């Protein structure tokens, strides 16, 4: 489908979904975003839903300003996936051992490595830039000065919530490895610190929503945030790279006789800021629950822990600021999901998937998410499908 345009305050709101299906609070958030003095354009993805300040599933292009709350507290959260040489015939009927081995190798939930991962010890892992990256830690805001060791130990760990590690099959029976995670606690602390700073600045005092507080170009506060933001985005990317390398090591050991090989890893952020140029202007583009989908860009759009995911290639639609959805999107809050569903529902909705089936993950039940097929149908002018995946193992924190 193409987009539907609805009136905004300073810019129109382009929506890749039926506005009538979007909850009222989310629509008001979009109008609030469109009222910002620095706004250049606003695109809304089909997985749109209520967020903090800014809606999840929105692409916010601003001139000379960025909103830290719109980026969110999981800076650089995103996906990685890789196709393997394994096929469905190589997998055992009982996948519980494989799931257990993954959980042993990669800490989940609030877990972290007892000792920091040494990238040189992981077979095939590209260590380029590792030392330079960590040397920049001391240049981050002093608010996180004491968090270096924790950040080191959490590098290569999953987290909780909607983060996951999966073994999937595509339509041809090929096995894929996929994971979803971000910048862990260090990203959260950096985000919360800068959100607090932004809210205190005089130019933000009269905004319709203080959660939309921004930093303005050529100010010390903006420079500090940009430095920390881009470091955290790199942390998230490296975190996924370490996890994927550990994941591949597990699979290679478990299927040693098959001599597993791997294609090039696909990786994409979906909570981040990028410097891009549109309409002859240099802009700061915040994708809050959206991936970059420039012409030829590969991306990953997951559904839920029981419905599968899509590998996509971007079509370069500039009306959407070269973006697409980051997933199916929630249709109900976590608390609402817990009220509506129980463990029995979770067992039924994750039939055939080796995964947790307990009360601790009921809020991640497929029924709490929008139908991924409908979300994909609403963005055929944004991406083309390369592969459709269905998970057979799902690890969650």
pLDDT tens for the chain, 397 residues long, are: 689 999 999 999 999 999 999 999 999 999 999 999 999 999 999 999 999 879 999 999 999 999 999 999 999 999 999 999 999 999 999 999 999 999 999 999 999 999 999 988 888 788 889 999 999 999 999 999 999 999 999 999 999 999 999 999 999 999 999 999 999 999 999 999 999 999 999 999 999 999 999 999 999 999 999 999 999 999 999 999 999 999 999 999 999 999 999 999 999 999 999 999 999 999 999 999 999 999 999 999 999 999 999 999 999 999 999 999 999 999 999 999 999 999 999 999 999 999 999 999 999 999 999 999 999 999 999 999 999 999 999 999 8
How far, in Å, CA of 92 to CA of 90, rounded?
A: 7
pLDDT at 367: 97
* Residue 234 is assigned to a structural domain of this protein: yes
165 marked ligand binding residue:
yes
Structural domain count, the chain: 2
396 marked ligand binding residue:
yes
The catalytic position among 40, 194, 269, 326 is 326
pLDDT at 236: 98
Residues 227 and 350 in one domain: no
258 token code pair:
């098959």
Residues 258 and 380 in one domain: yes
Three-class secondary structure of residue 319 per DSSP: helix
pLDDT at 1: 62
Residues 303 and 361 in one domain: no
Helices (H), the chain: 24-34, 68-71, 96-105, 130-135, 148-154, 184-200, 220-254, 334-340, 343-349, 372-377
The answer to whether the CB of 50 falls within 8 A of the CB of 26 is yes
Nearest to 209 by CA among 30, 335, 338, 348: 30
* Residue 301 is assigned to a structural domain of this protein: yes
Residues 264 and 357 in one domain: no
303 marked ligand binding residue:
yes
User: Catalytic residue at 326?
Assistant: yes
Nearest to 64 by CA among 212, 229, 281, 291: 281
The answer to whether the CB of 194 falls within 8 A of the CB of 186 is no
Q: Around 241, how many Cα atoms within 13 Å sit in the side-chain half-sphere?
A: 22
Residues 111 and 216 in one domain: yes
269 marked ligand binding residue:
no
Q: How, if at all, do strands 383-396 and 271-278 pair?
A: unpaired
Residues 344 and 388 in one domain: no
pLDDT at 200: 96
Three-class secondary structure of residue 173 per DSSP: coil
Residue 318 maps to which CATH number? 3.90.1860.10
Residues 135 and 258 in one domain: yes
* Residue 298 is assigned to a structural domain of this protein: yes
* Residue 3 is assigned to a structural domain of this protein: no
pLDDT at 120: 86
The answer to whether the CB of 158 falls within 8 A of the CB of 123 is no
Q: Tell me, what DSSP letter sits at residue 264?
A: P
Residues 171 and 226 in one domain: yes
239 marked ligand binding residue:
no
Cα distances (Å, whole numbers) of residue 162 to 78, 108, 358: 11, 12, 15
The answer to whether the CB of 304 falls within 8 A of the CB of 331 is no
For the chain, what is the largest distance between any 2 Cα atoms, rounded to a whole number of angstroms? 65
How far, in Å, CA of 70 to CA of 58, rounded?
A: 9
329 marked ligand binding residue:
yes
Which residue has tokens 């971000």? 182
Which residue has tokens 């002093």? 142
Which residues contact residue 196 at a Cβ distance below 8 angstroms, ignoring those fewer than 6 apart? none
326 marked ligand binding residue:
yes
**pTM across the whole model:** 0.96
* Residue 25 is assigned to a structural domain of this protein: no
Nearest to 60 by CA among 25, 79, 36: 36
* Residue 217 is assigned to a structural domain of this protein: yes
252 marked ligand binding residue:
no
243 token code pair:
């996890």
- Residue 156 is part of which domain span? 77-268+291-331+369-396
The answer to whether the CB of 237 falls within 8 A of the CB of 180 is no
Q: What is the pLDDT of residues 103-141, one digit of tens each?
A: 999 999 999 999 999 988 888 788 889 999 999 999 999
Residues 360 and 378 in one domain: no
Q: How, if at all, do strands 78-87 and 215-216 pair?
A: unpaired
Residues 326 and 218 in one domain: yes
pLDDT at 344: 97
The answer to whether the CB of 174 falls within 8 A of the CB of 83 is yes
Residues 251 and 345 in one domain: no
Nearest to 84 by CA among 178, 168, 175: 175
Q: Helices 220-254 and 184-200 sit at what angle, rounded to 10 degrees?
A: 160
* Residue 185 is assigned to a structural domain of this protein: yes
> What value, to the nearest 5°, has the Cα angle with vertex 141 and ends 140 and 143?
125
* Residue 215 is assigned to a structural domain of this protein: yes
The answer to whether the CB of 330 falls within 8 A of the CB of 314 is no
Residues 151 and 211 in one domain: yes
């Amino acid at each position: 489908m193409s987009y539907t345009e609805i009136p905004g305050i300073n810019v129109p709101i382009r929506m890749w979904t039926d506005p009538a299906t979007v909850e009222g609070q989310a629509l008001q958030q979009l109008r609030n975003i469109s009222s910002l003095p620095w706004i250049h354009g606003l695109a809304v993805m089909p997985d749109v839903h209520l967020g903090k300040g800014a809606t999840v599933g929105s692409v916010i292009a601003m001139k000379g300003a960025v909103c830290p709350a719109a980026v969110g507290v999981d800076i650089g959260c995103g996906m990685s996936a890789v196709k393997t040489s394994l096929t469905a015939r190589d997998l055992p009927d009982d996948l519980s051992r494989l799931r257990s081995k993954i959980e042993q190798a990669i800490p989940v939930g609030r877990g972290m490595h007892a000792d920091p991962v040494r990238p040189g010890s992981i077979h095939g892992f590209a260590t380029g830039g590792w030392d330079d990256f960590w040397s920049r830690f001391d240049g981050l805001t002093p608010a996180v000065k004491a968090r270096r060791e924790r950040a080191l130990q959490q590098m290569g760990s999953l987290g909780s919530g909607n983060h996951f590690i999966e073994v999937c099959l595509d339509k041809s029976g090929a096995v894929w490895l996929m994971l979803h995670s971000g910048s862990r606690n260090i990203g959260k602390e950096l985000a919360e610190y800068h959100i607090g700073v932004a809210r205190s600045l005089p130019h933000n005092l009269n905004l319709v929503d203080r959660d939309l507080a921004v930093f303005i170009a050529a100010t010390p506060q903006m420079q500090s945030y940009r430095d920390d933001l881009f470091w955290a985005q790199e942390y998230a990317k490296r975190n996924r790279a370490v996890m994927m390398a550990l994941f591949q090591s597990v699979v290679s050991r478990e299927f040693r006789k098959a001599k597993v090989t791997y294609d090039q890893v696909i990786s994409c952020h979906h909570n981040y800021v990028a410097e891009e140029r549109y309409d002859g202007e240099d802009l700061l583009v915040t994708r809050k629950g959206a991936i970059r989908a420039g012409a030829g860009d590969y991306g990953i759009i997951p559904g839920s822990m029981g419905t599968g995911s899509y590998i996509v290639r971007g079509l370069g639609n500039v009306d959407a600021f070269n973006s697409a959805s980051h997933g199916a999107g929630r249709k109900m809050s976590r608390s609402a999901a817990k009220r509506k569903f129980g463990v029995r529902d979770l067992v039924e909705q994750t039939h055939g998937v080796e995964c947790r089936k307990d009360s601790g993950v009921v809020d991640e039940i497929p029924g709490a998410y929008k139908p991924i097929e409908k979300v994909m149908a609403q963005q055929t002018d944004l991406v083309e499908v390369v592969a459709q995946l269905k998970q057979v193992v799902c690890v969650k924190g």
